[in-house]
Amino acid sequence: MVKALIMAGGIGERLWPLSTRKRPKQFHSFGDSKPLVIQTMERLKTLVDEVHIITTKEQINIFNQMIGKEEEEKITLLTEPFGKNTAPAIALGSLYYEPGDIMVIFPSDHIIRDLESFRRTITRAIEEAVESDALITIGITPTRPHTGYGYIERGESHNPERGSYRVKRFHEKPDFKKAQEYLKAGNFYWNSGMFIWRKEVFDRALRLHLPEIYHGLEELKAKAKSLEEVYENFPSVSIDYGIMEKADNVLVIPGNFYWNDVGSWDSVYELEEKDASGNVIRGEFVLHDVKNSLLFNTTYRSVRIASVEDAILVVTDEGILLCHRGDSQKVRELLKY
């Protein structure tokens, strides 16, 4: 069986002050009227036999409020006691798969367009996962030196029919100079955070690279420990760092569809429709001579702006963010204080 596992327990802090612990990014809508997590589910439905969503205990109520009866019947909601990043989430989710099942793992909070091309790419990745003992990842052909994404360096061709390549190395989010070099080199892809493999192949990788998580799951299955006890002892580690960067059986299949991880306010500006002045506006504003800016106001407060260009302003009940367009990755720094 081919079963999707949607990872939906992140906080999306780079979209503060809209994305918050109470309502993280995946529950907001961008590029469409539906919340990102619902867009993700709908995109996958026709490609897989079952859809599983893994999220944290803290977020389960938001899901229950959002997901209608009809959708509820088609998905299984899995709960982690608390967020420990993506490796523990995927490992816990894998308990709901049989050894020969294909795990199709997706972030919950991305925008994908060109759905036909997306489907063809994922279908090829599923075929590859059925046949080869590989951990497969989807790499997006980069169009600019983006510093918010991890990069995948392609090695030699593996299966020309499916367009798969061996992975030489993963490079987590680079600085601008490095990102420019990667773009020029031509054999680098953006790491989309989508993974496809057989459950038994994942089990072997988990035992080898994250034995503490593998053994924790064994204790859970044997009912020697509770989920809370086991989870408490798991390292907080991403699947990229914990497994993908260490494994030697990783393949990349390039994807040429439009993909945006909605990872920052600049990404939101990029994907939303602009008005004649180049502005993206949500909510109420009084504007005079404002150009090429992203303006969000989810409150009833009156916001008036004059003679501003290339700005990002987000006003919510949680707080106010103001920065220059191009600098929105700095939100993470601001949140340290």
Ligand X SMILES: Nc1nc2c(ncn2[C@@H]2O[C@H](COP(=O)(O)OP(=O)(O)O[C@H]3O[C@H](CO)[C@@H](O)[C@H](O)[C@@H]3O)[C@@H](O)[C@H]2O)c(=O)[nH]1
Q: Which range touches ligand X (CB under 6 A), out of 15-23, 52-60, 159-167, 177-185?
A: 52-60
* DSSP label of 29: B
Do 110 and 258 form a contact (C-beta atoms < 8 A)?
A: no
C-alpha–C-alpha distance, residues 81 and 134, integer Å: 30
Q: Please give the sequence-ordered ranges of beta strands (E in DSSP) within the chain, or none if there are none.
A: 2-7, 50-56, 75-80, 102-107, 111-112, 135-140, 151-159, 164-171, 188-198, 250-255, 259-260, 280-282, 286-291, 294-297, 304-309, 311-315, 320-324
Residue in 5, 18, 26, 128 binding ligand X, rule: CB under 6 A: 26
Interaction between residue 55 and ligand X (CB under 6 A):
yes
Tell me whether residue 86 or residue 279 sits nearer to ligand X (CB atom).
86
The two three-digit tokens of residue 168, written as one number: 């030489």
Q: Give the x-and-dash track for 138-157 against ligand X (CB under 6 A).
A: -----------xx-------
Round to whole Å and give the CA distance between 138 and 149: 13
Taking CB under 6 A as the rule, does residue 8 contact ligand X?
yes
Q: Which stretch binds ligand X (CB under 6 A): 101-109, 159-167, 211-219, 321-329?
A: 101-109
Find the binder of ligand X among 44, 51, 75, 89 (CB under 6 A). 89
Identity of the residue, 244 or 315, whose beta carbon is nearer to ligand X in the bound complex: 244
Structure tokens belonging to residue 222: 């044997």
Q: Is 85 in the site for ligand X (CB under 6 A)?
A: yes
Q: Does 107 bind ligand X (CB under 6 A)?
A: yes
Centre a 10 Å sphere on the Cβ of residue 279 and count the other Cβ atoms it contains.
20
The answer to whether 101 contacts ligand X (rule: CB under 6 A) is no
- Residue 246 beta carbon to ligand X: minimum distance, rounded to whole angstroms: 14
Residue 255, strand partner residues: 140
Contact with ligand X (CB under 6 A): which of 9, 31, 163, 174?
9
Q: Give, as ranges, the residues between 256 and 275 that touch ligand X (CB under 6 A).
A: 261, 263
| Site membership for ligand X, residue 52 (CB under 6 A) | no
Q: Is residue 87 classed exposed, middle or buried when 0-12, 13-18 and 19+ CB atoms within 10 A define those classes?
A: buried
- CA distance linking residue 310 with residue 262, whole number of Å: 18
Gap between the Cα atoms of 135 and 201, Å rounded: 7
CA dihedral 191, 193, 196, 197 (to 10 degrees): 90
* 259, 138 contact by CB (below 8 A): no
Q: Which of 7, 75, 313, 323 binds ligand X (CB under 6 A)?
A: 7
The least CB distance from residue 297 to ligand X, in Å, is 25
- When the beta carbons of 149 and 188 are compared against ligand X, the nearer one is 149
User: Does 94 interact with ligand X (rule: CB under 6 A)?
Assistant: no
Between 35 and 193, whose beta carbon lies closer to ligand X? 193
Residues 218-257 binding ligand X (CB under 6 A) are 240
Q: Is 174 in the site for ligand X (CB under 6 A)?
A: no
Q: Which residue is nearest to ligand X (CB)?
A: 150
Query: What's the min distance (Å) between Cβ of 212 and ligand X?
Result: 16
Q: Give CA–CA dist 58/55, Å, rounded.
A: 8
- At residue 268, the 3 state secondary structure works out as helix
Interaction site with ligand X (CB under 6 A): 7-10, 26, 54-56, 80, 83-86, 89, 107-109, 149-150, 172, 190-193, 240, 261, 263
